[in-house]
Amino acid sequence: MPYGQLTPAEPEAVGFSSARLGRIATALNRAVDAGWMPGAVVAVARHGHLVYHEAVGHLGPDKSTPMPKDALFAIASMTKPVTGVAGLMLWEEGRIGLSDPIERHLPELGNRRVAVLNGAALAGREPIQTVPANRSITILDLMRHTSGLTYGARGTTAVHPYYPASSNAAGATLDSASFLERLAAAPLLYQPGTVWDYGLSIDVIGLVVEKLTGQTLGAFLQDRLFNPLGMADTTFHVTPDKADRLARPLPIDPETGAPQSVPDRAQRLMFECGGGGLAASALDYLRFAQMLLGGGSLGATRILGRKTVEAMRTDRMPPEIENRIAALDPNSDGYGFGLSVAVRSRPSAMMGSLGEFYWNGAYGTLWWADPKEDLAVVFMCQVPGDLRRRFRPMINALVYQALI
């Protein structure tokens, strides 16, 4: 069967309008014609059935190849929920717990110091004053981005240069030992458990997986997740026989005129960074999303227990934690955070339901799952600039308006 365990169905059989779903391609073709992107792929499932899987535009800016449905995309931070699932597998096996201090598994990350964000530090001036951390970083902190570990490119304080700019930068320039050494030497930006701040937390979960299993993160995921779900095109390294399916962005940002690019996933990383290193097809990632929507199983294949997935998509941001998710992406207003996924906690400018969970990627990719509607959606394009933020509300509206 070409769609693995996601069997195709007519949209009307599962509560969609075929005509209204057709608006997705119409809108995306307008975006292609306007010069916003070379092309895109969208995949939608409802009640466990594939109801929409279409490609528009071209694989790259030279327009030499129509965008194939099985195109491969650098998915950036959409890697994070995948790595989160790897950590949840270890939780189910009793090998880690959410309250575990990180030094139980990676001793190098214990005994942390936290920066004092006074005027000098905020202005980017050294030396940085530090105080002892009030408590250890926990696995929960890493899963929900409250560890105090940050991204070097996400701020201008004196703390930020201590950190790799991004997950991709870390994976491309450091091996895992050097990455761990750099994190160990860096002051935390915030006290653990006090502020949601996007950064390298999930990359550390990947290191824990490698430490406890004796496998690389990619090998563990291949054995335990990708092979069982039929995610044949999801990988940290796209092999030469598949490299001609890699989507490419426009060379110039159409809004700013600045040069832009995405990493070439046909080139090996120095380590398989769990925060941003995967490439995948839309249908592969839809299988992953459908597995989570299905309470941990896809068809007869069970990856996680039902209660584990329930724990993953439960908002774990109490009022005492400063929630800065909307500062990262204004489209995330109204969301809390669970275990490596954002969770809608109140109505917002986006269509959808309370309890919907999602994440996106810095190069233009997006997915979400809505348990109330039994709906999973994956949108893939390579638009690495701020223009990508236009597409989340667009795709959100185009999918939900097609429900009947």
Regarding whether 231 and 185 lie in a shared domain, the answer is no
Overall average pLDDT of the 97-121 stretch: 98
Using CB atoms within 10 Å of the CB of residue 398, give its burial: 0 to 12 exposed, 13 to 18 middle, 19+ buried: buried
Regarding whether 181 and 121 lie in a shared domain, the answer is yes
pLDDT over threshold 90, residue 4: no
| Tens-place pLDDT, residues 262-310 | 999 999 999 999 999 999 999 999 999 999 999 999 999 999 999 999 9
Dist. CA 196–CA 199, nearest whole Å: 9
Count of domains in the chain? 2
Regarding whether 144 and 21 lie in a shared domain, the answer is no
Regarding whether 88 and 75 lie in a shared domain, the answer is no
Give residue 257's pLDDT: 96
Dist. CA 160–CA 205, nearest whole Å: 21
pLDDT over threshold 60, residue 2: no
pLDDT tier for residue 229 given thresholds of 50, 70 and 90: very high
Regarding whether 236 and 370 lie in a shared domain, the answer is yes
Using CB atoms within 10 Å of the CB of residue 256, give its burial: 0 to 12 exposed, 13 to 18 middle, 19+ buried: exposed
In a domain, residue 230? The reply is yes
In a domain, residue 195? The reply is yes
Give the residue numbers spanning the domain of 309.
Answer: 7-79+215-400
Give residue 277's pLDDT: 97
CATH number at residue 294: 3.40.710.10
| Domain's final residue, options 213, 239, 259 | 213
Regarding whether 207 and 271 lie in a shared domain, the answer is no
Q: Peptide bond preceding 187: is omega within 30 degrees of 0, i.e. cis?
A: no
Query: What rounded mean pLDDT belongs to the chain?
Result: 97
C-beta atoms surrounding 20 within 10 Å: 16
In a domain, residue 203? The reply is yes
| Tens-place pLDDT, residues 166-222 | 999 999 999 999 999 999 999 999 999 999 999 999 999 999 999 999 999 999 999
Dist. CA 378–CA 293, nearest whole Å: 13
3-state helix, strand, coil in the chain (%, to 5): 35, 15, 45
Regarding whether 205 and 220 lie in a shared domain, the answer is no
Give residue 184's pLDDT: 98
Regarding whether 208 and 224 lie in a shared domain, the answer is no
In a domain, residue 54? The reply is yes
Give residue 37's pLDDT: 97
In a domain, residue 2? The reply is no
* Long-range contacts formed by 1-5: CB under 8 A, 24+ apart: 3/50, 3/283, 4/229, 4/230, 4/283, 4/287, 4/298, 5/229, 5/230, 5/287, 5/298, 5/299, 5/300, 5/301
Give all strands (DSSP E) within 5-136, no chain letters. Answer: 7-8, 39-46, 49-57, 73-74, 113-115, 130-132
Residue partners of 263: CB distance under 8 A and separation at least 6: 74, 168, 172
Dist. CA 117–CA 183, nearest whole Å: 19
Regarding whether 342 and 299 lie in a shared domain, the answer is yes
Give residue 125's pLDDT: 96
Dist. CA 48–CA 4, nearest whole Å: 12
Regarding whether 247 and 368 lie in a shared domain, the answer is yes
| Domain's final residue, options 183, 213, 243 | 213
| Domain's final residue, options 213, 230, 251 | 213
pTM, two decimals, is 0.97
Nearest to 217 by CA among 173, 273, 263: 273
In a domain, residue 1? The reply is no
| Tens-place pLDDT, residues 69-85 | 999 999 999 999 999 99
Q: What are the structure tokens assigned to 349, written together? A: 């400018």
Give residue 345's pLDDT: 95
Regarding whether 151 and 45 lie in a shared domain, the answer is no
Overall average pLDDT of the 112-130 stretch: 97
Regarding whether 223 and 204 lie in a shared domain, the answer is no
Give residue 1's pLDDT: 37
| Tens-place pLDDT, residues 344-368 | 999 999 999 999 999 999 999 999 9
| Tens-place pLDDT, residues 334-347 | 999 999 999 999 99
In a domain, residue 207? The reply is yes
Give residue 293's pLDDT: 98
In a domain, residue 363? The reply is yes
